[in-house]
């Protein structure tokens, strides 16, 4: 499965990337990492990932907008929102725009794996 990681923090990006070798997850191939929505969308249309982790607060196109654009390109994409924004309205909006799941920051490795497995199921 192809994975695209979207987050403006390089630390979060590499943290998510490191988790991909966990044996509980299916084989994941990271096809790209993006720092903002615009970059993410470009990578998305180039490499057609099936799985995306999506930050929301980012410069140049936020995550909700980006999720919507991705879902328009490929409604089958499994988008997991990974964000610190903990208000209900944002989560509802993201889910409505096509996200399949929501994971709040800060997260533990276990929580990330669980959330990834859930959006893939």
Partner 1 sequence: MTDITEQEIDVFVGAVNHYFDQITGEKAKIRSSFLAEGDIRPPIYDFTGLISIGGDYRGCIYFSATRVMLMRLLLAMREPRQTDPHLLDAVGEIANTLAGNAREHFGETMAISVPMTFQGAAERLRMTVRERPYVIMIKWKQYEAAVIVDIAKK
Partner 2 sequence: MASPTAWKMTAGEFFQGLFGKYIAILIAVVIFLVSDLGVLGTNIYSSFRIAESAVSINLSGRQRAMSQRFAKALLLVEHDVTRGVSHQTSLQELEYAAYIFDTTMTGFRDGAMVTGGLGSPVFLVKADTPEGRRLVSETYRVWDPYKKLLQPLWDTLPPGNPLFNEKQLEEAAQNQWRSSRLQSTFTQEEVDAAVVYMRANNVELFNHVNALTFELERDANERAFRLRMIQLIGLTIVLINVLFTVFMSIRDLMRGDRNLALARKETEEILGTVREGLFLLDHDYRLGSQYSKSLNKVLQRDVFPGMPFLPILEEMVSKNVYDNARDYIELLFGQRVKEALVTSLNPLSQVEVRGREDEQPHYLSFNFNRALEDGRISHLLVTVQDVTEQVRLAAQLEAAKGQSRIEVEVLLKLLNTDAGVLRQFLDNVGKGLAQINERLRSEDDSEKARLHLLNFVMRIVHGIKGEAAALNIEMFEDYAHGFEKELVGMREKGEVRGEDMVRITVLLDGFYERLAAITNIAEKMAGTSSGSGDADEKYLQTFVDSLRSLVARIAGDEKKEATVACDLGDIVRLPRRVANELHGITIQLLRNAVKHGVESPAEREAQGKPVNGEIVVECKEIDRDEYEFTVRDDGRGISVGKIREVLVQKGALSVEEANALGVDAVMLRLFEPGFSTASEADRDAGHGVGLDVVAEKTMKLRGRLTLNSKIQAFTEFKIRFSL
- Indicate whether 102 belongs to the interface with partner 2 (CB under 8 A): yes
When binding is defined by CB under 8 A, the residue of 21, 89, 106, 108 that contacts partner 2 is 89
Quick one: which of 83, 100, 103, 115 contacts partner 1 (CB under 8 A)? 83
For residues 61 and 36, the answer to whether their CB atoms sit within 8 Å is yes
Q: What is the distance between the alpha carbons of residues 44 and 39, in angstroms, rounded to a whole number?
A: 9
Residues in 6-65 at the binding interface with partner 1, rule: CB under 8 A: 8-12, 14-15, 18, 57-59
Beta pairing class for 78-83 and 101-104: parallel
Q: Least CB distance from residue 10 to partner 2, whole Å?
A: 28
Binding mask 25-64 for partner 2 (x = CB under 8 A): ----------------------------------------
Q: What is the DSSP letter of 54?
A: E
Residue with tokens 């879902």: 71
CA–centroid distance for 92 within its chain: 16
Residue 21 or residue 121: which is nearer to partner 2 going by CB?
Answer: 121
CA-atom Rg of the chain in angstroms: 13
**Chain residues in the site for partner 2 (CB under 8 A):** 88-89, 91-93, 95-96, 100-102, 118
């Amino acid at each position: 499965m192809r994975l695209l990681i979207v987050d403006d923090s390089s630390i979060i990006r590499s943290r998510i990337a490191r988790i991909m070798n966990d044996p509980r997850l299916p084989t994941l191939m990271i096809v790209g990492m993006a720092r903002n929505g615009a970059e993410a969308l470009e990578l998305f249309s180039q490499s057609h990932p099936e799985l995306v982790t999506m930050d929301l607060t980012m410069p140049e196109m936020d995550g909700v907008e980006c999720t919507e654009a991705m879902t328009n390109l490929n409604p089958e994409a499994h988008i997991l929102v990974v964000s610190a924004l903990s208000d209900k309205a944002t989560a509802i909006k993201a889910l409505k725009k096509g996200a399949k799941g929501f994971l709040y920051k800060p997260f533990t490795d276990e929580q990330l794996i669980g959330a990834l497995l859930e959006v893939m199921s």
